[in-house]
Amino acid sequence: MKRLFPILSVVTAILLAYALYQALVIAPTDAQQGDVYRIIYYHVPSAWTAFLLFFINFIASVQYLANAKPSSRTAAKWIVLAIGIVGAIACFLPQVQQRLPAGMRPNAVATTVLAIPAFYFLIGKCFPGERLDVLAVTSAEVGVVFCTIVLVTGPIWARPVWGIWWAPGDIRLTSTLVLWLIYVSYLVLRRFSTSAQTQMLAAALAVFGALDVPLVYFSIWFFRTQHPQPVIGGGGSMDPRMLHVLLINWLAFLCFAFLVCWSRYRLELLHREVEEAHAMESLAGATARPSHPLNRSPQ
Amino acid sequence: MTYWSVTFATLKKDIRLEWRSKDALNSMLFFSLLVVVIFAFAFDPLAEESRHIAGGLIWVAFLFAAVVALNQTWARELRNQVLDAYRVSPAPANALFLAKALGNFIFVSVLEALMAPLFVVFYNLHVLGPAWQLIPIAILGTWALVVNGTFFAAMSLRTRSREIMLPLLLFPISIPAVLGMVAGTTAVLTGDNPAHFYIVLLLTYDVVFTTACLALFETVLHAE
């Protein structure tokens, strides 16, 4: 596995360079926005990557919480399975289809719903025990970085196109900002916690955050939204040549995110190993010496 | 000891403690009074303007004041290892949580009842929409603040500088609730648009997060 790392680094570097070339030179200029629009090739792939990482964090956190007890572990498995099956079928019922927001295709929603059990079981298989928590830290940290890129490139793009840096009532802007805030507080909790069970606390907070985001989304549902409709699975339309470049950029960003996550994951594992070794060492030292300080003979 | 007897015993104890010391209430009252006075000087609004901003001011004052009370909720139990005793006792953890949340709800409600007339006086408020809707907004909004606040106060118990930690955890999660309270109150005060949507939003928020808190509290309490 370790040998793959340099190979993947080289592949990612080449892919990023190729994606940059595609974005700046090959992609056609937008008819309305001119060259300004090219920031989309950084903005949108970062957003997708950030959301994917937060999703992974959520799944890992739920599973970590569920694994604490055998009964909840089994229950969680069945609940996740039920959500996937019922959700995917429900998307094709006419009553539900009518209620879907304009521009959301049922098969896109069904695929997203099916991704929940798929990710759940895949992550559970690949990351047993404490590794789930390591995955949660890694994905949250890297996700915050990508989300920051989204929040920085967004206003830079909005200023020339909309005339304003930030649209306060906008649904996607606000929910992304809230997501970012929640995950920053998640990282702050992890950093500041002195509990031996920080993982549990952090996992609980991640679940709260995941419950919060849909509520934020619906609370701003009322306002007219300024952000364009989603490009994939939504009503937005895009030139196929631009879409092609966008997907290449996303692939490059995903590879890059994977690379960063991988090294962060390994670092965190090593860090914990070192901590454990320290604990074992001090434990061994304590048993070797007389345990009670009062019993120590005067020197 | 059943679930409810544990809840009521703890609640009674908290109320008695608060009644004798009045620590949380006094500090909350003085804090929100300061906020009212400072904002009144800073903005010096006309009646029409104040109707638009008062919703935000009221809830910001209550939000910050509530943090003062919430921070003391569990810190009180750390003395003499009371919390450890709770942990080893067979009493259901949820009952303890519910009692603490109800206690905070009562304290913050008292604060709101005392402060609301002051807001009316300082900002020359008179309500243009259906005034009775302010009551469900206040009840649901206060519960939304204290239920998550009590939970996160327990969570931040085991952190360095825990007084700072609580708002850092609580505010991002509370954003939809705060939005519902502020926008709902403004809608009632100005009478421009109906506040039903915000009441439903607050109700949804309360149901979702009360369930989540009750489900996860035991994990947090035992995360030593």
Summarised one tens digit per residue, pLDDT across range A119-153 is: 889 988 888 888 999 999 999 999 999 999 999 99
Question: Does the pLDDT value for residue A221 go beyond 70?
Answer: no
Coil, strand, or helix at residue B64?
A: helix
More confident residue, A215 or A292: A215
Question: How high is the mean pLDDT of chain B?
Answer: 87
Chain A residues near residue B218 by CB distance under 8 angstroms: none
Distance (Å) of CA B155 to CA A130, B90, B213: 20, 21, 11
Give which of A112, A187, A117, A121 is closest to A148, Cα–Cα: A187
The rounded distance, in Å, linking the Cα atoms of A108 and A184 is 30
Q: Which of residues 123-182 of B touch A (CB under 8 A)?
A: 148, 155-156, 158-161, 165, 168-169, 171-173, 175-176, 179-180
More confident residue, B153 or B46: B153
Question: Does the pLDDT value for residue A252 go beyond 70?
Answer: yes
Which of B145, B147, B148, B169 best tests the A interface by mutation, with the highest count of A CBs <10 A? B169
The rounded distance, in Å, linking the Cα atoms of A120 and A117 is 5
B200 touching A, CB under 8 A? no
Which pLDDT does position A166 carry in this prediction? Answer: 83
- Mean pLDDT value across residues A148-162: 88
The rounded distance, in Å, linking the Cα atoms of B209 and B196 is 20
Nearest CA in chain A to B179: A219
Q: Phi then psi for A30, rounded to 5 degrees?
A: -75, 140
Which pLDDT does position A253 carry in this prediction? Answer: 93
Which pLDDT does position A236 carry in this prediction? Answer: 55
- Which H helix or E strand runs over B89? none
Rg of the Cα trace of chain A? 23
Among B13-27, B92-106, B123-137, the minimum mean pLDDT is found in: B123-137
Please tell me which of the candidates B161, B197, B223 has its beta carbon nearest to residue A192: B161
- Interface contact flag, A201 B169, Cβ < 8 Å: no
- For the four alpha carbons of B82, B88, B89 and B90, in that order, the dihedral sign comes to positive
Write the CB contacts of B149 (distance below 8 Å, at least 6 apart in sequence).
B66, B67, B70, B104, B166, B170
Please tell me which of the candidates B148, B197, B224 has its beta carbon nearest to residue A196: B224
Q: Could you tell me the maximum CA-CA distance found in chain A, to the nearest angstrom?
A: 87
More confident residue, B65 or A171: B65
The HSE-up count of residue B199 (CA atoms within 13 Å, CB side) is 14
Question: Does the pLDDT value for residue B149 go beyond 90?
Answer: yes
Chain B residues near residue A195 by CB distance under 8 angstroms: 158-159, 223-224
Query: What's the number of domains chain B is made of?
Result: 1
Question: How high is the mean pLDDT of chain A?
Answer: 84
Chain A residues near residue B156 by CB distance under 8 angstroms: 189
Domain span at residue B151?
A: 3-222
Token pair recorded at residue A182: 């929640």
Domain layout of chain A by residue ranges = 16-29+37-58+132-274, 68-128
Q: What is the pLDDT of residues B151-170, one digit of tens each?
A: 999 988 888 887 888 999 99
Q: What is the pLDDT of residues B2-33, one digit of tens each?
A: 888 989 998 999 899 889 988 888 988 998 88
The rounded distance, in Å, linking the Cα atoms of A188 and A97 is 40
CB atoms within 10 A of CB A297: 5
More confident residue, B110 or B53: B110
Coil, strand, or helix at residue A34?
A: strand
Question: Does the pLDDT value for residue A83 go beyond 70?
Answer: yes
The residue assigned the tokens 């695929």 is A111
The rounded distance, in Å, linking the Cα atoms of A265 and A120 is 19
Which pLDDT does position A12 carry in this prediction? Answer: 92
Chain A residues near residue B204 by CB distance under 8 angstroms: 215, 218
Q: What pTM, to 2 d.p., does this model score? A: 0.86
Token pair recorded at residue A117: 């059990």
Which pLDDT does position A224 carry in this prediction? Answer: 47
The rounded distance, in Å, linking the Cα atoms of A42 and A16 is 11
Q: How confident is the model at residue B146 (pLDDT cuts 50, 70, 90)?
A: very high
ipTM of the complex: 0.86
